[in-house]
A and B are shown apart, each in its own frame.
Chain A
Amino acid sequence: MAVVLDKSHRWRVAAAHVGLICFIALTLAPFLMLLSISLRPGNFATGELIPTVISLDHWKLALGISYQGADGQLIEPDFPVLGWLWNSVKVAGLSALIALLLSTTCAYAFARMKFAFKPQLMTSLLLLQMFPSVLVLVGIYAIFDRIGTYVPGLGINSHGGLILAYTGGIALHIWTIKGYFETIPTEIEEAAKVDGASPFQAFRYVLLPMSLPILMVVFILAFINGINEYPIASILVQSQDQLTLAVGSKQFLYPQHYRWGDFAAAAILSGLPITVVFLMAQRWMISGLTAGGVKG
C-alpha cells in the first residue's frame, strides 16, 4: 500500500469513523435499552440505561425459575417462556428446512429446465407473494380451519399447520436460489451427465454442493422469518402451551399492566436461536466454492 494520499485524507478517515461509530451506537441503542430493562427491578419502560440495582427477577421468570417477590411471597412463573422458545425453534427450524427443500428444487426447475410460460410463472410467483400476509389472514384462518377437520395435525392450533403456512412463503427464496444457480456454469452439470449422472444426480452431487452458501443464506432468512413472524402465528395457534415466543411474549403486555421487564427478557431470549443458527451456518457461507471448475 504505497498509494499517495491527499493531505486531508486522515481527517476524512477520522470523520468517517466518527460517523460510523454514531451509526453503530444508534443501531445498538434499542438492544441495550432492552437488556437494561430486563435487568432493572420493576416493569418500567423508561429509566437509566445502566441500572443502579440489578435484578434477575425477570430472567428467572423467563427461564421458569420461581423467585421471592418484594412482599416475601414466592412468585411462580405464570407463562411457559422456555416452552414458547422451543415452539419457535421447532416451527422455524422445520419450516425453514421444508422451505429450503421446496425452493431449491423449484429454483432448479426454473434455472435449468425448459417449459412453457416460465417467465410468466416466475413473475406471478413474486406478484402473489407481494401482498402482505396480514391482508389474507381471514382466508388463511378459514383454510386451516377446513384442513383441520380432515387432518387435525395440520389444522388450527397445531404446529403442523403453522409450519405449512410458513412454508408457503418461498417465492423470494426461489428467486434468490435461481439467481445463484444461474451463475454456476452449465458445463459442469453437462460434464456430470456425460459422466453418467441422471438429472437428479447431477443436481444432488454437483449443483447442490456448489450452492451451499446460498442455501445457508436462504435457510437463515427462512428461520429468522419463522422466529419473528407474528400475525399468522397469532391466529393459527391459540392454546397457551402451543404459542411461539413472538406471540407468547405479547401476553406480558395487557392493557392494565405492561410487564416491560418480563417482556424484555423474553424478547432477548428469542434472539438467541437466530444467533446460534447464524454462527453455525457461517462456516458454510464462504465464497469461491465454484472457483477452478471452469476457465474464468
Chain B
Amino acid sequence: MPDADGLEMLAQRIRDLRADAVIEVTHNHGQAMIEVAPDANREALVVLSEQGYSFLSSLHGVDYYPDEPRLGVHYQLLDMDRVDRVGVKLRVTLDDPAVASVVDLFPTADHHEREVYDMFGVVFEGHPDLRRILMPEDYQGHPQRRDFPTGGEPVIFTYNEPQTPGWTQ
C-alpha cells in the first residue's frame, strides 16, 4: 500500500488532469482508497495505470443504503512490480446509475461489470455486451441492493408451476 503521502501524490496527479476529479482520499486499515467523481473513473484509472498500477485485480459493487448517493463501484488496482495496491471508488445515485465502462482499458472488467450491473443495476456505458450474468435473463430487480428482500419467491417445481401464475412479477 502506498503511504499517506504517496497516496496524496497519486491523487494530485489525477487532480492535475482534472481539478474536480478527486473527492476524497482515505487511508484506513492500511488500505489506500481514492474516491473520484462518477464521471472521472476512466481518467483516474488511466493515470494510476501509468503510475504502475496496471493490473485491475477486482471490481465490486456496493450499496451504501441508506446513505446517498447509494450505489458504489470499487476498483482494486495492483502494481505487480512494487507489490502495491490502491483502490478507486465512485458513487452514483439510483436515478442516474451510469458509469463509463473500462472494458477497453482492462479486458478483465467485462465479467465484473456485468455482475455489478446484474446485482446493483449500475449501467456501464460503453460495455460491449451488458447483460445479466448470474441471474436469469428475465429476472426483474437487482438482488444485491440492500432494500431488496430475501425470500418470498416461490420455488417453482414442475408440479406447482400452474399454482403460482405470474410468479415472475
Q: Do A and B bind each other?
A: no
Q: Point out residues on A near B: beta carbons under 8 Å.
A: none
